[in-house]
């Protein structure tokens, strides 16, 4: 095993820890199911006569509940382990989706959608349990290749989302003679099957205990008269300084992430609905566009992973996003669906391609025993603003305003570029090497 090799080949991937490989595989499968829902869920709600503001409120509720749960789950996972939480997620998703297929209650739909984030296009993330998953994934990855491994993980997620998006165009035609909401049931069945497979994957996986180390404060209190008390006092002081540095970095990350996620949430979850209203297209047209987008974004993620090895995570995150802002503000002015789709694809390639690098950056701000906390704060700072975004965007779209959500989103994402560069650059983890 070579722990410093870039895992973009089969041999490089096999050199990763078994837990790392299995978690990446599970997330890839999950992203296929979520890719289908990313296209079809808002269209399914529209088929059930939901309005844009109602859809936006549902997506907001899903984001807010996920943010609250993820904070507690991430912190708890640092103490009792991460495997249990992923098993709970997959079991709950299996049961909840099965209930949706046999019970058409609006309140059951709302409950399951809120708990598991249906339609939010989470790129394979395990809902509010994602902080536990992300911390577990980072546990066995050396810092020198963390950016590359997380970028590979992101690329596979995007490709899975692409497969799901392509499937979304055909799943709605699987049931002969079915139209309206019932035509979308194969999409939910796909989610059920994949959740069951992932439950079995994680159930058979062993978790390495988290190394919390000894607590020097406890030793000082119980054995303060020993000759090592001075050394322990120094250790405690160094620990306090290190925690303060980590806490400050996490606080700034929360601020920066919140600006970005609000900009993304304003329009991204509602884009299938917007395409349908603006150009009169359905899953048959939207699904292939989303599929191609995710496939190309996956390739972009691999390129960003390689770029992070050469120039560092910060530059590999902020530079491509400038083009993303320009394409986003131009998107609503496109006269045809084809031109709008081209701009959407370009924006996704340059914007989402840095997702793995952003994840690697956040978990690299702290040590292993605090990565659940870091992942939780990263998730909360993303989910709360991005949850508010669809409610605002849905309200604006419901008023017939098809441009303003894009303008507001562009301004916020430009502000994110400036803030990330100036506020987070000095906290860059050592994840790159001087490659030729």
CATH code of domain 13-207+242-425? 1.20.1250.20
Give 366's contacts (C-beta < 8 A, 6+ positions apart): 246, 249, 250, 373, 374
Here the tokens at position 374 are 């870091």
Q: Could you tell me the pLDDT band of residue 343, with boundaries at 50, 70 and 90?
A: very high
CB 99 within 8 A of CB 108: yes
Q: Where are the alpha helices (DSSP H) in 117-228?
A: 130-138, 146-171, 185-203, 216-222
- Residue-wise pLDDT tens digits, 131-181: 788 888 888 888 777 777 887 888 888 889 889 888 988 888 888 777 788
pLDDT at residue 225 above 60? Answer: no
- pLDDT value of position 436: 30
pLDDT > 60? residue 220:
no
Mean pLDDT score across all residues of the chain: 81
Domain edges within the chain:
13-207+242-425
Of residues 233 and 383, the one with the higher pLDDT is 383
Task: Return d(Cα 136, Cα 415) in angstroms, integer.
Answer: 32
List CB contacts of 136: < 8 A, sequence separation 6 or more. Answer: 19, 23, 77, 82, 83, 86, 207
Instruction: Say which residue, 110 or 269, is predicted with more confidence.
Output: 110
Task: Please list, in sequence order, all residues whose beta carbon lies within 8 angstroms of the beta carbon of residue 101, skipping any fewer than 6 positions away.
Answer: 185, 188, 189, 192
| Cβ–Cβ < 8 Å for 132, 86 | yes
In whole angstroms, what is the distance from residue 356 CA to residue 157 CA? 10
Span 227-239, pLDDT tens digits = 456 665 676 667 7
Q: Is the dihedral of CA 103, 106, 112, 116 positive or negative?
A: positive
From 403, 258, 415, 270, select the one nearest 328 (Cα to Cα).
403
- How many percent of the chain have pLDDT more than 70? 88
Question: How sure is the predictor about 6, in pLDDT bands with cuts at 50, 70 and 90?
Answer: low
Report in angstroms the alpha-carbon separations of 139 from 3, 10, 248, 304, 371.
Answer: 13, 21, 22, 22, 9
Q: In the predicted model, what is the mean pLDDT of residues 1-6?
A: 51
Is the per-residue pLDDT at 3 higher than 60?
Answer: no
pLDDT of residue 229: 62
Residues contacting 71, CB < 8 A, separation 6+: 376, 377, 379, 380
Residues 6+ apart with CB under 8 A from 106: none
DSSP 205: -
- Give residue-wise pLDDT tens across range 398-414: 777 778 888 888 999 99
């Amino acid at each position: 095993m070579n722990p410093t090799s870039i895992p973009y080949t089969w041999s490089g991937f096999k050199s990763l820890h078994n837990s790392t490989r299995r978690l990446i595989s599970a997330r890839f499968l999950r992203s296929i199911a979520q890719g289908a829902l990313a296209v079809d869920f808002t269209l399914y709600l529209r088929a059930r006569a939901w309005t844009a503001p109602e859809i936006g409120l549902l997506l907001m509720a899903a984001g807010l509940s996920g943010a609250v749960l993820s904070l507690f789950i991430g912190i708890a996972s640092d103490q009792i382990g991460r495997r249990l939480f992923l098993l709970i997620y997959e079991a709950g998703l299996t049961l909840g989706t099965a209930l949706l297929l046999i019970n058409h209650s609006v309140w059951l739909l709302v409950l399951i959608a809120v708990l598991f984030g249906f339609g939010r296009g989470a790129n394979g993330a395990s809902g509010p349990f994602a902080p536990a998953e992300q911390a577990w994934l980072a546990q066995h990855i050396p810092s020198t290749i963390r950016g590359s491994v997380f970028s590979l993980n992101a690329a596979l997620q995007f490709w899975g989302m692409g497969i799901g998006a392509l499937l979304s165009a055909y799943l709605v035609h699987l049931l002969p003679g079915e139209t309206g909401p019932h035509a979308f049931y194969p999409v939910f069945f796909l989610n059920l099957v994949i959740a069951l497979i992932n439950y079995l994957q994680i159930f058979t996986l062993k978790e390495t205990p988290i190394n919390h180390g000894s607590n020097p404060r406890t030793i000082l209190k119980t054995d303060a008269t020993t000759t090592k008390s001075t050394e322990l006092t120094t250790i405690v002081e160094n620990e306090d300084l290190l925690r303060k540095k980590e806490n400050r970095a996490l606080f700034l990350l929360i601020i920066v992430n919140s600006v970005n996620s609000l900009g993304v949430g304003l329009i991204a979850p509602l884009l299938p609905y917007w395409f349908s209203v603006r150009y009169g297209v359905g899953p048959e047209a939207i699904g292939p566009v989303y599929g191609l987008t995710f496939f190309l974004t996956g390739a972009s993620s691999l390129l960003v992973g390689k770029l992070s090895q050469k120039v560092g995570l910060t530059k590999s995150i902020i530079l491509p996003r400038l083009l993303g802002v320009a394409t986003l503000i131009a998107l609503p002015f496109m006269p045809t669906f084809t031109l709008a789709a081209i701009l959407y694809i370009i924006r996704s390639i340059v914007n989402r391609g840095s997702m793995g690098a952003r994840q690697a950056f956040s978990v690299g701000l702290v040590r292993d025993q605090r990565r659940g906390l870091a992942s939780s704060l990263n998730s909360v700072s993303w989910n709360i603003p991005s949850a508010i975004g669809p409610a605002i965007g849905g309200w604006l779209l419901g008023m017939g305003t098809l441009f303003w959500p894009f303008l507001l989103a562009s301004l916020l994402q430009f502000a994110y570029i400036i803030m990330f560069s100036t506020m987070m650059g000095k906290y860059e983890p050592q994840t790159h090497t001087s490659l030729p």
